[in-house]
Every structure is written in C-alpha cells, then in structure tokens.
Chains A and B, each alone.
Chain A
Amino acid sequence: MSAGAPVLDITDFSVVYRTPGADVRAVNQVNLALHTGEVVGLAGESGSGKSTLAYAVCRLLRAPALITGGSVTYRGRRVAGPTDVLQLDTRELRQLRWREIAIVFQSAMNALNPVLNVRDQITDAIHAHLRMPRRAAADKAASLLDLVGIPRTRLRSYPHELSGGMRQRVMIAMALAADPEIIIMDEPTTALDVVVQRDILAQIVELKESLDFTILFITHDLSLLLELADRIAVMYAGQLMEVGTAAELHHEPAHPYSRGLLNSFPSLHGARRDLAGIPGTPPDLRHPPEGCPFVPRCGYSTDACRTVDMHLERVASSPDPEHVTACPFVLPRTPAPERLSAQAEQEFRA
C-alpha cells in the first residue's frame, strides 16, 4: 500500500471542543495516511470524532473547536512540494478546499441551498472556486450531471423536487467539479434505501476508477466498508483503535472494539451467526477515563487496561506491517472472553 509518500498525512492530530466545564477531547493523537487512489474507510459510532477529524483536516471547524496539536501534510500532484495544511492562510485554504480536497456532506437536504435550482447550485460553486465564466460553468454543471447519471432535464429542479438519492448525486457532482485529488465522504448513503445506496456506491467506485481520486469514506456501518474500502481505520472516543486492510479487519480483527463492531450487524448472506453487539455507551469525552477508553464495554479488560498507554502498535501476527492496533493485550487469535463487559454485567443483574 505504501508506494511513495502519502497524499495526505495526518500525524498526532488532536482537536478539542472548548466548553465551560472542561475540554471535550474529540480527536486525540490520531495518525492516518491516505495514499493516492486508495479508499480509506473511517468507522465509528456517533460521537467517536470521525466527522470532527475529517472537517478539522480541511480546517472547516470554527470555535469552540480548536486544533491543539499535530500536523496535516498534503502532497498533491498539482501543488509544489508538501503543504502544511495547518499553516495555510485564508486565501491558501480557499485554493486547497474543493480543488484539492472536496467534501460530500452527510445530509444533502441541508447542504444544498433550497432556493437555488441544481444548475445555479453547481454553477455558483464552480464560478466561485475556479473563476470560470458563468456560461462555461453552466456547461460544466450539465456535464457533471451526466457523470453522476442524472438527466440534464433535472438542471432546473430544486432540491425538494429530487429524491434523496438524486440529492446525494448532486452533492457528489459538486464535489467532482474541480477535479479534486481527495474526496471526503461523510456518511453519504446513510439516509438512503439499500437499493439506492448500492447504486451510489457502485457509481462512486466507477468514478474513482475513471477520475483517479482518493477517498476517505466515513460511516458507522462497518459492513459497508468491508466491501468498499481498501483500508479501514476504526475510531472510538476520539482515538484510532485499529487500522488495517479490509480483509484483515474482517478475518483477523485484533482490537476488541473492532470485533464488537463486526459482531453487531446481521448479515443476509451465509449461515446465521450469533450476534453480540456492544453493550453500554461511549465515555464522556470531557472526562475521558485513564488508559483505554473502551474498558467499561470490553469483555477482555483487566486492571492493566486502566493504565495502558494508548498508541497504535503493529499487530505482530499479521503479515502486513501496516496492520496496527491500540490494544497490546488482545491479538487476532485471542479466544473470545467468557464474561460480558463490566457495564453489561451491571445492567444484566438489574
């Protein structure tokens, strides 16, 4: 996977939200690299910090969010030398956003302007970011719709006249407008029906093959990522718990949290499995616990977990040197624990 320097390199990256009581440690010491042409999946529950991470990387967050440490280095084909995203001024950020890194936002209904039709919507964006004359921008808008499979007759439609799937396609068309190097997709299909979801995913892959961009795909649905992503990063309570190829995460997951996620979704294909899910709820990030944040929900946990220094280490048994986990105690072959997690036991007795 690591052919050459990564197109986006996130190192020791931390973000907090300032609140009156205490800082919320939304993203904590995250290390993640995207290589050209890769689909990297970022999986985690709501509140795990996955969207915060993605937006902070584009410097899209405003106060009370604050980037407290780390670096983000971008190495695009069209820019000279590595760019330190965190040092850019407003004008340079404008150059970076959309042209180099584009985002497909989660809720297309909220992200699109309800009083602009599809053509004006896309034309505005192209006009603003590429300084293209309006007429040329309108032509470009039409050809972008072709690209995502929306008939040109829809150029005059307003967002409320489009189905959920079509709105999401318009969002994707807008992201593609400036031929970006990286597209960040934040739960692009979560609100959609399975059939539409599959169509859009297939199209994303098709577009990626032909236009050659890199994807960071954010979702809480790991089952989707296993099929779509080359590599998967599992995030919990603001930290990365495990990073590995889709195949390794599926067959040889190391971290107990990854195992829990894999055991959470019912599958249509293959024999019926026993499903366990993950009992309990994520910790309050204003007062994160010492050691591993997953301890209260983890069936493998011991006292040592409460003092462990959380950082990603290579999974020794894995053939891939880039398969890393934050849990030093559990390995892919470690048998499943007998007992439930501490939190689950407490609930169970009640």
Chain B
Amino acid sequence: MTANGSGEHAHGREVVSAAAARGPLALEAVSISKDFRLGHGQVLHAVRGVSFGLYQGAVVALVGESGSGKSTAARLLAGQERPTSGEIRLDGAPADLSTRRAFRRYKSEVQLVFQDPFSSLNPAHTVRHHLERPVRLHQGRKTRAEVAREVTALLEQVRLVPANQFDEKYPHELSGGQRQRVSFARALAAKPSVLLADEPVSMLDVSIRLEMLSLLDDLRQRFQLALLYITHDIASARYFADEVLVMYAGEIVERGPAEELTQQPAHPYTQLLVASAPDPDNLGGAPRTAAATPPRQPAAAATAERGCPFSPRCPLAIDRCRSDDPALLPVSPTRAAACWRLDVAAPEVVAAGREGAP
C-alpha cells in the first residue's frame, strides 16, 4: 500500500510528537513495513509504512483492535522480526541485528513485556531463576552475591516486597498481577532504555490494572524509560500516555497528544473507538451501537485491498476513499490524521489546526 500520492515520503513525520517534550529521541521507526506470506501467492501486509518515535521518559500508546498490526509493530521494534522495508534507529543509528552479539547488545537496550503473564513465565522455574538469567546475560560479570543483591533490588523496584518472600516462588504460586510484576522485573534486569509493553494489563482484573499502570509510570520516571504502551483500551491511553497513535489494518490512521486525541478524535475510526468505550454516564440507557459501524461488520473481512483500509466500515466514505489510500498528514503542529474527509469528520479539529499553525 504505497500508492500514497507523490513525494509524501515524510508520512506525518513533520508533526512534532507530544512525547518529544519529555526527553531525547531513543528509538525510532522509519516507515517500517512487514509482510507475511500466507501461501497461495497471498500476502498479508501486517504493518505498512509506519513511522514514529519513542522518547526518554515518555509514554507513547499504540491503540488498535486485534489484528491491526500493533503487536507486529512491537515485535519489529524489539528485533524479534525483521521489517520487510524501512528502518529502526536506536539513538540515531540504524539498529544492528546482524550478529548474535549485536542482537544481544540491542536487546539490552530494548526490552519487550508480553501480554499474558500466565504463559510468558516458565512454570518449572522460580522467580529468582527468571531474574538471575537476564542479570548474568546483560550486566556483565558479577559475583554470586552481587547477582543476588541485584535480584532483590529488581523485586523491590516492582514492589514485590519483602523480596525474600517471592524469590523462591514458582509462577503458579503467584497471582496474575504478581506474575506481571515479575515480567516487568525481568525486562528491567537488562537495564534497558526502551520498554515495549504489549497489552501489559489486559489480562488482569480492572481493579489491578490501575496499580500496574502506575507501577509502569513510576518505573518510567525513575529510569527515564522510553515506553511504548500497546493497548486496545483507548481510555487507559488517555490517562497513561503522552502521545497516542491509532492503528488500523497496519497503518497509523491518527496520532496526537493523548488528551486532545481522545477528547476530539479526528479520524472516523478513532471516533468509533471513542464512541465504543463504556460510558458509565450513559446510565440505564441501553448501550448504543456506535453510529459509524455498519452493524456486525467483522473488522478483518472489512479491510479494503485498495484505498483507505477503513473505507468499508466508514460512514463518510466516498469514491476517492475506496480508490486512494490517504497519507498521514498534519492537521496541527502535534496532530496528524490519514483521512480524505477530515473537513466533514472533524471540522473543529481542522479549524483549530489552521489557527494554531504558524
């Protein structure tokens, strides 16, 4: 999907990320794409021309539904998969994953936390084992006592205290929240500068999620981590992130400062996401179907081969949307959206953007 008109290679990079105010650029995705061959000559474009940056001490949220490519994007950034095209830059230099040694060096800077704390820990090993290994692997030579001290410090950082009550436990003896804390500690053991968290709280109870997010936020501040928060819950992104990127069918369709984007979404898909979130103030009123969906349209089947990927589900789609894929273009100094019909979808945002422009 590169038929984005001419000369717009910049893909919304002219917008200043709302996360950039927090600190220097740490990890950057430059127009990365990933195709998967499905056999029978079919190709799945999981990620298409995605560009964004992660900044020290800032949280960028990547929001989208299952199958939108957000986890693939995380795996590309983590070096688990190689992009089909595009480049990943760490501290300004292209990521070097060519040798085992280079890969390990990259991993000690960029760590990934998985969604499911029930399957990401090895049931046959203790918490201590899970943490000792990365400490030895990434922190150079250490005596046994130093390693033990480091493990205790890691457990304290993720508030599994007192540490000596947890280090000999096996995963099945821990609650979901405690397991996810162990996952965080394991990621921190490498002393990374970038943490990619793929749906870190979606398997947990609502009452525990908040605590986990505030722990992540605390770790971000303490270690000046550049954090990518992947989620399908746009409400948590509002509270937790500096910048929100909305992904649909492998493309970023909208990006902007978290509060602005969630309160005044510009892209019809973002509007649908926001309208679908539970609204406790709509008491007793039967849940409305968000206006934008043609009823019961499965997302995967409704991805267009040509044109804007959202056009089959979009109430505002016109012929142009079905033939040309819109590029992600700035609507204000900090916001961008990929939509031909922004003037209809979000006239206020467009107007405000014009006024705000220098």
Contacts and interface: CB of A to CB of B under 8 A. Distances in A.
A202 B289 contact: yes
Interface string A57-71: 000000000000000
B286 A281 contact: no
Interface in B240-297: 240, 259, 262, 272-290, 293, 295-296
Interface residues of A, number: 50
B210 to A, nearest CB: 3
B205 A227 contact: no
Contact of A350 (B66, B159, B275): B159
Contact of A198 (B214, B280, B283, B287): B287
Interface in B187-228: 205-211, 214
A328 interface: no
B206 A222 contact: yes
Given A223-B278, A268-B234, A195 B273 contact: yes
A199 B206 contact: no
Given A164-B66, A279-B211, A281-B175, A266 B287 contact: no
Contacts of A143: none
A227 B206 contact: no
A149 B206 contact: no
Nearest to B282: A227
Given A264-B209, A350-B162, 19 more contacts: A45-B207, A46-B205, A150-B296, A194-B232, A195-B290, A197-B276, A198-B290, A220-B206, A226-B278, A226-B280, A250-B283, A264-B206, A265-B235, A266-B236, A268-B235, A268-B238, A268-B279, A275-B210, A350-B161
A45 to B, nearest CB: 5
A240 B153 CA distance: 39
Contact of B289 (A150, A198, A279): A198
3 closest cross-chain pairs (CB), A and B: A277-B210, A350-B161, A226-B280
A131 interface: no
Contact of B208 (A205, A276, A277): A277
A322 interface: no
B85 to A, nearest CB: 28
A41 B259 CA distance: 31
- Interface centre among B210, B287, B290, by most chain A C-beta atoms within 10 angstroms, is B287
A350 B159 CA distance: 8
A270 interface: yes
B287 A201 contact: yes
Given A46-B205, A194-B276, A199 B214 contact: no
